[in-house]
Chains A and B, each alone.
Chain A
Amino acid sequence: MRILLMRKHARSNPRNFMMGLLLLCLISACAPAAAGTPENPSALDTHGPGAAQISGLWWLMLGIGVVIFAAVVVLLVMALLRKRRSTVYTPAERDSDTGRSWVIWGGIIMPLGVLAILFVFTLHTLAAITDPVDTPLSVQVVGRQWWWEVNYQQQGIATANELHIPVGVPVQLSLESGDVNHSFWVPQLHGKMDLIPGRTNTLTIKADDPGVYRGECAEFCGLQHAHMGFVVVAESQADFDQWVVGQQKPATAPTDDAVQRGEQVFLSAGCSFCHTVRGLDDSSVDVGKVDLGPDLTHLESRLMIAGATLTNNVGNLAGWVVGAQHIKPGSLMPNINLPADDLQALLAYLESLH
């Protein structure tokens, strides 16, 4: 149910239209500079036991690999540069069996030994990261083209593109897909797990340090696979509990006129057909069935928007509303053309959704 509403007086009132256009240009110019938080999602900068174990295995394999490669290169260079003693072939050189011991020792025995060691460490690491642990917290993550629906079912929270977890607590993620294959990957915390329609995969993640960790979708899922990021916010238990309480509340009722007007714009522009705002009275929509777009009840509490593509600030939000197809062409969010006054009101409303 995608409704693109063109406000009639955007056409008939050129001044408002031009103001809106100017705003769009300014926002688009700022958007690239404001996009993204400077977090390096490095698999070697580990902040969780899963990633740490894997990183340990990596350094071992790298060490062994470098030694083997260096040995091969040294042997190669020596073979190229060594002086052959005479100009006449020796019978040994003419024999195809000469040098067989190289092949047996270097090609069979050495790899067998190295691979046996690596396999043992692999199993050890695999066991360490997949051992069942008590997971006091469960989160359901549903991958959709091209955003992440995040549901804390026990707590009754729905959000999008952002997970909050308490530091030091294992969290079980139930990974499902609403359309095509996706993959949930937070390199700093753990390896990835695919989201496959028809299956529920589980991944247990834990953060050892507080911080904001960037995640990416790691399975090609169509046009905007590149813009399907998310963030995992690891915080103290107290902060996490406070966050949960805040998320459980319905949307705060509008307190001033601008926000009230914005709520009207939200309804009349058709936003509620795709986006749920719990507490907003919209009798035209069956809230339980709306899952085309992220839940916006607490939009302002989030760090980023548009699949962790843009920092959540008013400029980017305006650009996203008016020109989503410019930022993420092909996504399900259409360009919502609004006159400048309506846009400002809508932004005021969205900003009130703490």
Chain B
Amino acid sequence: MATLPSVHEWNESLDRIWQAPVGIIGWLSAVNHKIIGRRYIATALGFFLLAGVAALLMRIQLAFPQNTFVNAEQYNQLFTTHGISMMFLFAVPIMEGIGLYLVPLMIGTRDVAFPKLNALGYYLFAISGILIWLTLFFGTAPDAGWFAYAPLTETRFSPAYGVDVFATLIEFTEIAALIPAAEIIVTVLRFRAPGMSINRIPLFVWAMLVTAFMMIFAMPSIIVASTELSLERTISTQFFNANLGGNPLLWQHLFWFFGHPEVYIIFIPALGMVSEVLATFARRPVTGYPLLVVSLVAIGMISFGLWVHHMFTTGLPILGLSLFTIASMVIAIPSGIQIFSVLATLWHGRLNLKTPLLYVIGFVVNFVIGGISGVMVASVPFDWQAQDSYFVVAHLHYVLIGGAVFPLLAGLYYWFPKITGKMLNDRLGKWNFWLVFIGFNVTFFPMHISGLLGMPRRVYTYLPGLGWDLWNLISTIGAFILAIGVLLFVINVIRSLRTGEPAGENPWNAGTLEWATTSPPPVYNFEPLPRLAAATPCGRIRKAHTSSRSRSTGVKHWGQVRSMRSRKCAFHCRGIRLFRF
């Protein structure tokens, strides 16, 4: 008669099977999704800080008219590298990294579908990013803007090899981005825990699934574009040379067909993070799970129909442009669903005002401003004034920072205890939040004004007396406030890694599966894999706490979650939201 192994034997065998190899070779050959996810997050944050420093240098240059802090060539390399680093090396990889870390945990499985491929993706990304930054330090960084319009990027106008670096390494980065996309799709569709039907997965997993599908459709366009650019510069194909039958607009179409979904690839995981943080800190389920899922899918799909709004001033026929105005405005509707769901959840919730929730509130305020300015520039005639001016710079930073970085910081504060086993200091976190919030708004709000006053973007200097001086100076001051805020975050992370409060399994009394294992999780994630009970409705059923220090120090049993240690086999988790139409 076979007997079940004891819990101790079970853990030992799991350890043996799943443990990473040791030593340098072990470190290099690690494939566990949590290790790869942590590396993505850390590397992406490194590129974020580098790109932020580049931005500070740019702001110093623009603080005064005709400043000579950096020259034209240096400034052009700085703003190009800032854009490339933020978009390709920070925003997408960090969302992917957090997704790779959390998705297997949230759906109750041990790893992603293809762990070795996962490691490859990370190395491609890291090496490409480091090489791009090295070129800046050597003074040969790409200098034609992060969207690198042809024919400026052709050899005859950009003879230095910075643009070749861009074309080649972006290809690698984009291939690297496809790998987590494939991982997430296969893992979510095939590896969910028993009982977790697709309509029970957390909203963050939905967001990553939608994002992954978007990447599969969007990345090929930039891969084609950057391949064509590489060929143009090496073997003199003439894709973009109008003198020999090519068309500069081809680059713009190919790039923006990728480029617009790209920004939603960055935004949608952030929406998923907002939903998770919100549910935990409002201590109730997020309002309208089905509506939210539909809105995520809708944003994903509609975002592929917007790309020409980056080309409104190129002289394309205005009937076609009007269709893109409609689409660009319509995408505000699913975004509105998300925002009002946040408001409704907050209204009916009992709020635990910790740093993650503060960042969610900051997201609402800043993203709504960005969304409103977005609807404005969606309108063709107004875009004819605003395009390529600082108004657009203001808009894009409001939606990217407000819509992605704020939720990201919320998510980092929220999941840091799970990833590292230590809590981030909440008081420092609040200082961090306020400095970032105030600094961000002081930096970018005046750009709406200087844009309307006629200041074009990507200018390394400007003449005095045009009405732009004051706004630029204010922006620069704001940039330094923002930088101090970010510095506080870095300090918080470093300090907490060393001497942070131990977190325990579920410091936030949260309801998703990743909180039903230790912090940090063992390499095999869960001892026996969780099995979800089908019938019990779940939610954040617990007594409301009136005290602010409601976080417990030990293992917290949430709703009716039972510890697996008391059971020999199946583990019943009732902490998952039940999807009801």
* Interface assignment of A260: CB less than 8 Å from any CB of chain B: no
* Interface assignment of B528: CB less than 8 Å from any CB of chain A: no
Given contacts A57-B382, A94-B285, contact A72 B314 (CB under 8 A): no
Q: Which residue of B lies closest to A191 (CB)?
A: B384
Contact A107 B341 (CB under 8 A): yes
Contact A330 B152 (CB under 8 A): no
Residues of A within 8 A of B577 (CB): 96
* Interface assignment of A211: CB less than 8 Å from any CB of chain B: no
Distance of A180 Cα from B544 Cα, bound (Å): 63
Partner of A103 from the list B288, B326, B456 (CB cut-off 8 Å) is B288
Residues of B within 8 A of A72 (CB): 339, 343, 364-365, 368
Instruction: Type the 1/0 row for A100-121, where 1 means its CB is closer than 8 Å to any CB of B.
Output: 1011111110111001001100
* Interface assignment of A19: CB less than 8 Å from any CB of chain B: no
Contact B336 A98 (CB under 8 A): no
Partner of B364 from the list A76, A201, A220 (CB cut-off 8 Å) is A76
Residues of A within 8 A of B460 (CB): 226
Contact A122 B465 (CB under 8 A): no
* Interface assignment of B242: CB less than 8 Å from any CB of chain A: yes
Contact A76 B382 (CB under 8 A): no
Instruction: Type the 1/0 row for B294-335, where 1 means its CB is closer than 8 Å to any CB of A.
Output: 010000000000000000011100100010011001101100
Q: Which residue of B lies closest to A44 (CB)?
A: B452
CB distance from B54 to the nearest CB of A (A): 16
* Interface assignment of A209: CB less than 8 Å from any CB of chain B: no
Residues of A within 8 A of B456 (CB): 185, 216-218, 225-226
Residues of B within 8 A of A37 (CB): 465
Given contacts A94-B540, A225-B459, contact A106 B343 (CB under 8 A): yes
* Interface assignment of B477: CB less than 8 Å from any CB of chain A: no
Contact B544 A76 (CB under 8 A): no
Partner of A36 from the list B337, B349, B373, B465 (CB cut-off 8 Å) is B465
* Interface assignment of B138: CB less than 8 Å from any CB of chain A: no
Please report which residues of chain B, range 525-551, place their CB below 8 angstroms from some CB of chain A when the two chains form the complex: 539-546
Distance of A107 Cα from B337 Cα, bound (Å): 4
Partner of A183 from the list B329, B386, B388, B467 (CB cut-off 8 Å) is B388
Count class of interface residues, chain A: 35 or more
Residues of A within 8 A of B545 (CB): 87
Residues of B within 8 A of A103 (CB): 287-288, 291, 337, 340-341, 344
Q: Which residue of B lies closest to A77 (CB)?
A: B361
Given contacts A87-B546, A183-B388, contact A196 B382 (CB under 8 A): no
Contact B284 A94 (CB under 8 A): yes
Instruction: Type the 1/0 row for A306-334, where 1 means its CB is closer than 8 Å to any CB of B.
Output: 00010000000000000000000110000
Please report which residues of chain B, range 436-478, place their CB below 8 angstroms from some CB of chain A when the two chains form the complex: 452-454, 456-467
Q: Which residue of A lies closest to B368 (CB)?
A: A72
* Interface assignment of B381: CB less than 8 Å from any CB of chain A: yes
Contact B389 A218 (CB under 8 A): yes
Residues of A within 8 A of B325 (CB): 119, 122
Contact A89 B387 (CB under 8 A): no
Contact B151 A112 (CB under 8 A): no
Distance of A218 Cα from B383 Cα, bound (Å): 12
CB distance from A131 to the nearest CB of B (A): 11
CB distance from A40 to the nearest CB of B (A): 4
Contact B539 A106 (CB under 8 A): no
Q: 10 A-B contacts, Cβ less than 8 Å apart?
A: A43-B452, A54-B385, A65-B373, A96-B284, A99-B345, A103-B340, A130-B318, A181-B248, A185-B456, A220-B457
- Give A contacts to B, CB under 8 Å: 32, 35-44, 51, 53-54, 57-58, 61-62, 65, 68-69, 72-73, 75-76, 78-80, 82, 84, 87-89, 92-100, 102-108, 110-112, 115, 118-119, 122-123, 125-126, 129-130, 145, 175, 179-181, 183, 185, 187-188, 190-194, 196-199, 201-202, 214, 216-226, 229, 309, 329-330
- Give B contacts to A, CB under 8 Å: 66, 71-73, 76, 144-145, 149, 151-152, 157-158, 242-243, 246-249, 284-289, 291, 295, 313-315, 318, 322, 325-326, 329-330, 332-333, 336-341, 343-351, 353, 361, 364-365, 368-369, 372-373, 375-376, 379-389, 452-454, 456-467, 539-546, 577, 580
